[in-house]
Amino acid sequence: MSVALIVALPFLGALLPGLMIRAGRNACAATTGAVTLLAFILLLIEAPAVMSGEVIQYRIEWLPALGLHATFFLDGLGLLFAGMILGIGLLIILYARFYLSKNDPMGLFYTYLLLFQGAMVGIVLSDNILLLLIFWELTSLSSFLLIGYWKHLPEGRQGARMALAVTGLGGLAMIAGMLILGEIAGSYDLTVILQHKEAIQASPLYLPALLLILLGCFTKSAQFPFHFWLPHAMAAPTPVSAYLHSATMVKAGLFLMARLWPVMAGTEAWFYLVATTGLATMVIGAAIALFKDDLKALLAFSTVSHLGLITMLLGFGSPMAAVVAVFHIINHATFKAALFMTAGIVDHEVHSRDIKRLGGLAALMPITALIATITALSMAGIPPLNGFISKEMMLEEAAHSAWAGNPWVIGAVATFGALLSVAYSFRYIAHVFLGPRRDDYPQQPHDPPFGMWAAPALLAVLVVLIGLAPGFFAEPLVVATAGAVTGGNLPEFHLSLWHGVTPALFMSIAAVAGGGLLLWRHANLERLWLAAPRPEAKRIFDALVSAAARASGRVTDALHDGALTRYLAILCVAAIGIGLAGYLGGQHSPGQRPQLPVSTVPVIGWLLLLVSCLSVALFHRQRLLALVLIGVIGLIISIGFIYLSAPDLALTQISVEVVTVILLLLALNFLPKQTPQESTMPRKLRDAAIALAGGLGVGALCWAILTRDFQTISDFHLEQSYPGGGGTNVVNVILVDFRGFDTFGEIIVLGIAALAIYALVETILHGPVSRRLRAWTADQVEAKDRHPLMLVVATRVMLPISLMVGVYIFLRGHNEPGGGFIAGLVVAIALVMQYMASGFAWAQSRSRYDYHSLIALGVLFAGLTGVGAWFAGRPFLTSDFGYVTIPPLEKFELATAMIFDLGVFLTVVGSVMLALASLSRIARRAGETLNPDPMDIDPSAVARDTEVR
Amino acid sequence: MILLVEVLISALLVVGGFFALVGSFGLIKLGDPMTRLHAPTKATTLGVGSVLIASMLYFAVIEGAFSFHELLISLFLFLTAPITANFIAKAYLLHRAQPEALPRTERDCGWANFDAPKRDAVLTPPLNEDPAQR
Amino acid sequence: MEFLVASSVGSLTAAGIYLILRLRTFPAVVGVAMLSYAVNVFLFASGRLAIDLPPIIDKAATGYTDPLPQALVLTAIVISFGMTAVVVILALGAYLESGTDRIDTDDRAGPQ
Amino acid sequence: MIAYALMFCFGCFGLALLFNLYRLWIGPLIVDRILALDTMVINSIALLVLYGMFEGTTIYFEASLLFAMVGFVSTVAYCRFILRGDIIE
Amino acid sequence: MLRKLLPHPLLTLLLTAVWIMLLNSVSLGGLLLGLILGLLIPLYTAAYWPNRPRLRNPLMIVEYILVVLLDIVIANVVVAKTILFKRNSAMKSGFVAVPLDLRTPEAITVLAGTITMTPGTVSSDLSADGRSLLVHHLDAPNSDELRDTIKQRYERRLKEIFE
Amino acid sequence: MNHWIIAPIVLPAILAPFLVLATRHSLRLQRTFSVAGTFALAAIALALTVAAAGGATEVYEVGNWPGPFGIVLVLDRLSALMVLLTGLLAVAVVVYAVGSGWDARGRNFHPLFQFQLMGICGAFLTGDAFNLFVFFEVLLIASYGLMIHGGGPMRLRAGVQYVVINLAGSTLFLFALGTLYGVTGTLNMADMALKVRELAPGNEALLRVGGLLLLIVFAIKSALVPIHFWLPGTYANAPAPVAALFAIMTKVGAYAILRVYTLVFGAEAGANAWLAADWLLPAALLTLALGMIGVLGSRSLMRLIAFSVIGSVGTLLVALSLFTPESTVAALYYLIHSTLATAALFLIADLILERRAIGGDLLHPAPSFPQAGVIAALFFAGAIGMTGMPPLSGFVGKLLVLDAARGADSMALIWTVILVTSLLAIVGFARAGSTLFWKSSAVTGEDDRAGETLPKAASFVPMAVTVTLLSAMVLLAVLAGPTTSYLEATARQLYDPSGYIEAVLGPR
Ligand code: NA
Ligand code: NA
């Protein structure tokens, strides 16, 4: 339980700093510190048991489907890392309290810091590798925030993004690696995985898993060639650099290598990948560090170098090397965190981190100088400090390792690395603190307040103590930790300052001497270094990312440039292609259905249709003509429907077509009347080819279906129409009864269309369009009479007759072709006729129906008819009907379906009229005037008027 | 009697077909849109009219069920055909005819196509309110 | 007869496809209308063809054509009418707002 | 006899439709094409009536009626568009 | 009161007839429903037909219809002959203005319709004040004669019916 | 018969006309009813989900006509889940729309919104192929109305494109349905499944044509490459709350694919089993790749999010295309997640666009804006969700997808694409976020404080909604166990369609 709590505490506490900042900066820091301290204490409570070899576990079931569980375990390795994370974390919190300026949002900083801390603790205490992945990614995210904390600095932004990109890449690789590992081991639990060394190393998937996991580790731990992100992350505030980039996050990779050491290490692949990478990183990092003038950059690359060292040790695969690795991890954490803090102090006091502008600070800030010197000497590996011991042991291991059969390569290169390390460490001391006292500092630097140097001082003390008495101060922890790393087969060893006269001693002496020499000739070497061509990692990375972004942008823009016509062409080709593939992919036998005979008139109709289709394609640029042709096609299709026994379809088709044409004409009035000739010939040919392919495909499909027999469910509808649905027009009974639900949806579509049109017109009329419309002038010659007398008179007679026809079609629909929908259209067309004759305004002023309400009522009628069935305990839309006889009249039928159909009727009328009304508003905004009279000239009215007026 | 009616029906059908054909033939034969307008408006109405009468007779006598639908269709056609012709003529006049070439109205105004209505309607400014909302 | 219907559907489709690939909104709308004609006939034809067998229950009838596709087509006609109405008004609105009736936009710079 | 007459009549109206198609194709004015369409509608109505006689059924009459109404409205609409631009003003 | 409930008695009659025509059968129920609709629908549409003219001489309508039907038949034969046998260039087509004495819009419409449906003439436009009718003739050697025929044969009768 | 099954359709279908009829002139009343109705819908959906969790497939025979002759609605775990997701999303969106005042920027927002919900719920519940078409149309036409809500030239032009492409899609839907009916003679999906099993071999080719055309239709809806083109323009130009609601729209396509190709073309379809799988996987991988490339390559915020939607659809369909119970669990989990993530991101984008006076939608540095800090945090969280990083549910979802791909023939390819595109997304979102928030603060220095003057109350509701959506993702991650066990049961139901078929057609 407490293991889980140690992980959870930083997360739970993460909100507190944000809240406490109102109580002041001290309270904020204290709260953060208290949370961390609490976790640290919990850890210490468990420490004795762990040191004695116990493993503490805690498990919460989370996601069995995946094998992802909240399981934690605490062993020596976990203890060391968790202790480091929390312990150094405490010091960083203290340090940051004084480091951050008043302008920096401190609450946010501590929140991020706690999040990061929790994620780190999570990594080192996870027993489930998927859970570990989660924490792993969380460290990337929280470090992104921490690095970018000073968001106004471009370096901070770039550094944060680079760190995120690189560690993100590694994290993703690791996901794959971990999943493979889990696959091999049959579990995602580390405690289980660590038992399966043989199975894992024998698996063919071992190498991919290893590569992927190492990619994650190397990126996180800034191993060559992924070392470049680390220095740029140094744009972060110094506490962040000290914490993330020396003590914790960069060690996550090391931790994982150590964690998986028992099952992954010991193979050739492991050795060559890990040891070589480590060695290379150690030397390259050190070389770069030597020539960095920025204090933090120097320290950053020194960190890279030391991480390489540790990686190399882990790569050796021998238990003793692992022991050394663990020991150096501890030592590095102590001196490097302290060094970062001294660098921060210098920056804070002098306002510069440029070595070239520093020097002689020992006299001005003696305490800082002392701390820096001790820790830097430890970094250089000078006795009697802790760095010396672990470096000696490292050189010893290096001396005993052979690379590709060559026994001295590793030793030599490692010594060279150590030599460089000595050089930059001495440089840090000599060029910053020693030398003549300078007077060109903007203000006199002096030692900071106690709170700021307390933390590094404590670490410096540790550096000395471990150096002097490693057996007492470090050995138990190293034993416990290394025991965990090596999986129990720990060699006999003893940590001490003096190892005797070993090859390592001579290597060490060579390193110190060579390092001194290098520093002495530093100026000359620097000239050489600067003159030498070397890849600037940041520039490469930036170029890579921006090239990727640019390429992505180009691909994206090229594909998604808004050319709908191309999108549609692709859609058509895709549909044709997949249809063809489907056809070719299955058995096909030609149909056996006898075909209907062909007589002359249908052939003529067919000819008409074909010619009209061709004409539409050819003449479509004359838009009015295209609409006339649409009219022709609609007419022929309607006749076709009648001929082929579908009278309802014919009625619907023809009336829908006329309303469509009217709508299109209304819209066309404000659109260009001609389509310009702008397609190139190849394009036309391409489109024609697609069109022909589509036409052929659809035609062939239709033919294939028409010529084969089939069994259909509609026999039921034919049988049940009269007895069950109470109507002889099966199509209508299907519409209002069997599949009334479809019709319900359909009228809603219509209603929505009208509402959407209305909303659209409303919106555009309230926008800039309104102004443009006011300035609109007709683009074609206009006749002078708006409402010719003859049409007005004719419609006066036509309207009542048409309404009669509408009622008739409505009433007979259940038994004969017709129904609510067609009736609605007939009535709408009759009204439209009236509107065309006498103008919208006049006609509208005669009937004050609210079309919105008509639509709503229609849908409600239909819907409530459906709901009504609930009260009879029946499902939605269950119909009922009965026959009524009132003498002396004939028997007639009453059906609930009629009410439903009435809803359909109302919706249709309302929708059509609302759409037309909306369009006429555009015209009105375009300057059209209202007509108070139904016709332009009424000769009889003139006679009457002269009397009245 | 039946035979007589059959002959009558057949004759009507033949006449109807013939006139309809002539009407549509005129539509392609005649040379100028205004004259073309004559062909379908007249010939076709008689063509369709004959067919409608034939149909009425047919259903009444041969099928034994009176049918009045045809009357209704005729009513519609007779009501609409002149209006359609009038509109087509106006559309033609607007774009193809010179107003000066037309005979004078012998009134103090021109033809409605080219001259604004004499007793002009009192035009009101555009309303801002939405007619659909009233 | 089957051939006539199938080839009609094919030519309606071809004309429709050709038109929706044009560069202006109006031809596209006309193309959409053509396509809905095509698909309505296609859907209707999926119930096979029959002459003078309307699905009106009648003792004298010798058979009935499949009523179900007819009902489906009716629904489809109405729906495509609604859709056509919306798209044409939308095209008009876009033209009035933007001053162009080109159907392709230039999305490369992203929306304003 | 009626059957022959019907056939003749079908033929006439069919041919008439072809003539209409020809006018529709060549135009040259849009007015010509509208006229062709209008004539087509009227010829179609006759064809529907003939078909009703041929099949001995009256269920196609509503369609003829509707054709008449709709043909009128659409012709007027096309012409009004030419005349005034706005067909409902 | 009665006028409000029965704004168009003739129309009601016409609509009832239309209903029977639609039903295609005569039955008591059908007649009743037709009558009800014939009463209701004009109540709604009356607003669209203000200033309905009163027919002065309804019986005259029958005579008029017979005359016109006869003319239509003749006109068809004449036009058919013209179309089939006359060269396009030989046709004497052109416009003629017919001044109107009629004032009622309904009457003018009927006249214009009649002209369109009868021999070789199409009513093409009205004058801006509605008192002159523009008629196109397909093949009329003497346009004055044509105008007189129109006025004598149709307008006179309509004047009697409507005004 | 349980009438509640149809309630998610009938409630909005009645509410919408009621809004038009009774409350058209009062925005306040509209809001009250619309919000209340949406909450009621969510509550009903929750109850239905609880009912469905019992494991029985419930059928509602509309009009009291038995399947396959009438239209049936089917409530099983999958449909219940989808309706629930719709309900919850709708609550968030409607509250946001009201809180941000978006609903007042045009007419008829609430009726259109309710109709949209009706269409979506209908599509999830129906057991009839043609009825599915009808509901697709309902939800589409409502979405047209919503998409152009508020107007503006770019939005309208994008609207035209959206509508035209979908009209083409609807046409294709009917072609597919016609073909399937022409071959099987039925429209009921359960019945169709049976008919497919007994199909004469000579009809196979036509059946496949129909089935694959249908796939194209659903692929358009779910924005699968190469027919995804409509999505960026549409989502980038739609009003943000509408775009947030559209988060469920692509899922309708995914749902339909899952339903049809497990039920009709499932294991027992003989030679036509798993008809969609071979096509779906490569397309889904391409979708994922193009989507995330788009995230990296976008120069405006709305487009970036739109492309991330495409990417997430790709991930979802990759999982779906494997057609195993495990992959379906992963797909459905990811579906829930990506719906929440998409919605959250669009709402966050709206918060940004509402405040960013200069620069608008473009990813260029511009002066900082009020409340940038809080919104940056929200954006960061949203981006974490979308890119699939912990602790939000995207990470779990991605792990599930990767895990489900284990053992598939193309495992290496799938893993590579998913992981590499994740990196693209991470980099893309990081660039966008740092440009929007970090560079912005650099442009004017430190006038973040300007935000403090803005009335906080006005932005409380929108922010609260956004935070709720983000929290929902955390919750989804925390409750991954129970969620996946529901989804496992769902997948079991899907891969053994006999229960569904028996429920619809009776025992045979
Ligand atoms: Na029912
Ligand atoms: Na319908």
Interchain CB contact of C82 with D (< 8 Å)? no
**pLDDT by residue (tens digit) across A25-75?**
888 999 999 999 999 999 999 999 998 888 999 999 999 989 999 999 999
- Residue A720 C-alpha to ligand 1 middle, in angstroms? 12
Q: How far is C39 from chain A (nearest CA, A)?
A: 9
A-contacting residues of C 40-99, CB under 8 Å? Answer: 40-42, 44-58, 64-68, 70-75, 77-79, 81-86, 88-93, 95-97, 99
Q: How remote is the C-alpha of D65 from its chain's centroid? A: 12
Dihedral sign for Cα C28, C29, C35, C39, please. Answer: positive
Interior CA angle at A286 toward A283 and A292, to 5°?
Answer: 145
Q: Residues with Cβ within 5 Å of ion ligand 2?
A: A 735, 743, 821; C 74
CA separation (Å) from A766 to A753, A772, F152? 20, 11, 11
Contacts of D85 (CB under 8 A, 6+ apart): A669, A778, A779, A780, A782
**Average pLDDT score over residue span A919-932:** 81
Interchain CB contact of E99 with A (< 8 Å)? no
pLDDT value at residue B43 = 66
Interchain CB contact of C50 with D (< 8 Å)? no
DSSP A363: H
For E125, list phi and psi in degrees, rounded to 5. -165, 160
The confidence band for A943, taking pLDDT boundaries of 50, 70 and 90, is low
pLDDT value at residue B134 = 36
**Average pLDDT score over residue span A829-845:** 87
* Chain C contacts to F (CB-CB under 8 A): 16, 20, 25, 28, 32, 35-36, 38-40, 42-43, 45-47, 68-69, 72, 75-76, 79-80, 82-83, 86-87, 90-91, 93-94, 97-99, 103, 105, 107, 109-112
For A490, list phi and psi in degrees, rounded to 5. -85, 135
The confidence band for A378, taking pLDDT boundaries of 50, 70 and 90, is very high
Site from F423, F431, F484 to mutate, A interface, most A CB atoms within 10 angstroms: F423
Q: Which two tokens stand for residue A637?
A: 């299709």
Higher pLDDT, F178 or A293: F178
- Residue A751 C-alpha to ligand 1 middle, in angstroms? 22
Ligand nearest to the CA of C74: 2
| H, E, C per residue of A847-867 | CCCCHHHHHHHHHHHHHHHHH
Q: Decide: E155 and B118 in contact? Cβ < 8 Å.
A: no
**Average pLDDT score over residue span A572-590:** 95
Interior CA angle at A532 toward A531 and A534, to 5°?
Answer: 125
Q: How remote is the C-alpha of A184 from its chain's centroid? A: 30
List residues bridging with E122 in a β-sheet.
E136
Interior CA angle at F466 toward F465 and F471, to 5°?
Answer: 95
Q: Indicate whether B115 pLDDT > 90.
A: no
Q: Indicate whether A630 pLDDT > 60.
A: yes
Residue E143, amino acid: S
Higher pLDDT, A826 or A445: A826
**Average pLDDT score over residue span A807-829:** 91
Q: Indicate whether B127 pLDDT > 70.
A: no
Which among B47, B65, B48 is positioned nearest to B56, based on CA atoms? B65
Q: Decide: D2 and B8 in contact? Cβ < 8 Å.
A: no
The confidence band for E5, taking pLDDT boundaries of 50, 70 and 90, is low
pLDDT value at residue C30 = 96
The confidence band for F1, taking pLDDT boundaries of 50, 70 and 90, is low
| Cα–Cα distance, A375 to A332 (Å, whole number) | 10
Q: Indicate whether F410 pLDDT > 80.
A: yes
Q: Indicate whether A582 pLDDT > 70.
A: yes
pLDDT value at residue E3 = 63
Q: How many CB atoms lie within 10 A of CB F40?
A: 17
| Cα–Cα distance, A288 to A154 (Å, whole number) | 23
**pLDDT by residue (tens digit) across C3-60?**
999 999 999 999 999 999 999 999 999 999 999 999 999 999 999 999 999 999 998 8
Question: Count of CB contacts below 8 A, A vs B?
Answer: 91
Q: Decide: A915 and A663 in contact? Cβ < 8 Å.
A: yes
pLDDT value at residue E1 = 54
Higher pLDDT, A280 or A237: A280
Interior CA angle at A843 toward A839 and A845, to 5°?
Answer: 125
| Cα–Cα distance, F455 to F166 (Å, whole number) | 41
Dihedral sign for Cα F192, F195, F196, F202, please. Answer: negative
| Cα–Cα distance, A831 to D88 (Å, whole number) | 11
Q: Indicate whether A256 pLDDT > 70.
A: yes
User: DSSP alpha helices (H): ranges in chain D?
Assistant: 2-26, 30-55, 61-84
Chains adjacent to C (≥3 CB pairs closer than 8 angstroms): A, D, F
Percent of chain F beyond pLDDT 90? 82
Q: Decide: F63 and F117 in contact? Cβ < 8 Å.
A: no
Which among A308, A360, A359, A306 is positioned nearest to A336, based on CA atoms? A306
Q: Which two tokens stand for residue F16?
A: 């919408």
Q: How far is A620 from chain C (nearest CA, A)?
A: 7
Q: In chain B, which residues have their Cβ closer than 8 Å to the Cβ of D43?
A: 20, 24, 44, 47-48
**pLDDT by residue (tens digit) across F330-364?**
999 999 999 999 999 999 999 998 888 777 788 88
Q: How many CB atoms lie within 10 A of CB B101?
A: 8
Q: In chain F, which residues have their Cβ closer than 8 Å to the Cβ of A759?
A: 106-109, 112, 145, 148-149
**pLDDT by residue (tens digit) across F254-304?**
999 999 999 999 999 988 999 999 999 999 999 999 999 999 999 899 999
| Cα–Cα distance, A842 to A912 (Å, whole number) | 18
Rounded mean pLDDT of chain E? 87
DSSP annotation string for A378-436: HHHT-TTSHHHHHHHHHHHHHHT--BTTBSSHHHHHHHHHHHHHHHHHHHHHHTTTSSS
pLDDT tens for chain D, 89 residues: list them: 888 999 999 999 999 999 999 999 998 999 999 999 999 999 999 999 999 999 888 888 889 999 999 999 999 999 999 999 888 88
Chains adjacent to E (≥3 CB pairs closer than 8 angstroms): A, B
Q: Indicate whether F122 pLDDT > 60.
A: yes
Q: Decide: E76 and B42 in contact? Cβ < 8 Å.
A: yes
pLDDT value at residue C77 = 95
Which among A794, F203, B47, F125 is positioned nearest to D75, based on CA atoms? A794
The half-sphere exposure of A291 on its side-chain side, counting CA atoms within 13 A, is 16
Percent of chain B beyond pLDDT 70? 86
The confidence band for B124, taking pLDDT boundaries of 50, 70 and 90, is very low
Percent of chain A beyond pLDDT 90? 58
